[in-house]
Amino acid sequence: MEMQGNRHLAVTQQQAWDALNDPEVLKVCIPGCEKVEPAGENQYAIGMGVKVGPVAAKFAGKIHLLDVMAPNSYTLTFEGNGGAAGFGKGSAKVNLAPPAEGAGCELAYTAQAQVGGKIAQVGQRLVDGVARSMADDFFRRFDEEMQRRHPEAYAVAEAPSPLAEPPGKRMPLWVWIAFGAVVLVALLLLAR
C-alpha cells in the first residue's frame, strides 16, 4: 500500500516538529494507542489495539527515525507484530516547510506499508478503509492537541485574511485521512 499527502497546519514548523516527535502527543493522537515510549536514540516502542473487520489485536512494535534533519524532515521506518492477527512494516518520509504565503507550516508525507497475516486476509478495501479512518482520527486529534497547546496560532489562523484561499482551494479531507492512515499503519507495523 502506498499513500501520500500534505496539509497546512496553523502552528509553526518548530511547533509541529516538536509535536510529531513528542511521545505524549503521539499517544494522545494515535487511535487505539496504549504506549509510545523512547527505546533508544531516535527509536520508540509502541503498543496499540486495532480492529480491522472481524480481526482485533494488540500490536507491539518499534519506530526508527532515520535521516533526521530537524525541523525539516525525517524518514520513519516501522515494524509491528499482532501475533496471530498479523504483522506490518514500512516507511514514511515526513517533510515540514514554511508555507508559500501566510503563517503556519506545510506538512507533506509519502509512505509505503505491507501487512500480512489475518489482517491482510480480510481484504485490501477493508484495510484501506480502516487506515483512512484512523488517519482521519489522527489528524483530528492532532489538530485538537495543537489547538490546546498553541491556541494563539489557531486564533491568528481563524482571522480572515485577504490572502486566504477560498474554501474550495483547501486540502481535500482524503489527503489528511491518507496521511493518518500511513502513520497508523506504520505504528501498527512498529508495534511488533
Report residue 8 as a C-alpha cell: 497546512
**pLDDT value of residue 53:** 81
Domains of the chain plus CATH, in order, are 2-190 (3.30.530.20)
For 106, other C-beta atoms within 10 Å of its C-beta total: 17
pLDDT in tens, 37-71: 999 999 999 999 888 788 888 999 999 999 999 99
CA-based nearest residue to 66, from 97, 43, 89, 45 = 43
Q: Can you tell me the distance from the alpha carbon of 5 to that of 110, in angstroms, rounded to the nearest whole number?
A: 7
Contact residues for 85 (Cβ-Cβ < 8 A; gap 6+): 50, 55, 56, 57, 59, 117, 118, 119
For 172, other C-beta atoms within 10 Å of its C-beta total: 9
Is 171 exposed, middle or buried (CB count within 10 Å of its CB: 0-12, 13-18, 19+)? middle
**pLDDT value of residue 156:** 80
Which residues of the chain fall below pLDDT 70?
Answer: 132, 158-192
Q: Can you tell me the distance from the alpha carbon of 155 to that of 84, in angstroms, rounded to the nearest whole number?
A: 47
pLDDT in tens, 22-35: 999 989 988 889 99
pTM score above 0.95: no
CA-based nearest residue to 54, from 22, 86, 8, 102 = 86
**pLDDT value of residue 75:** 92
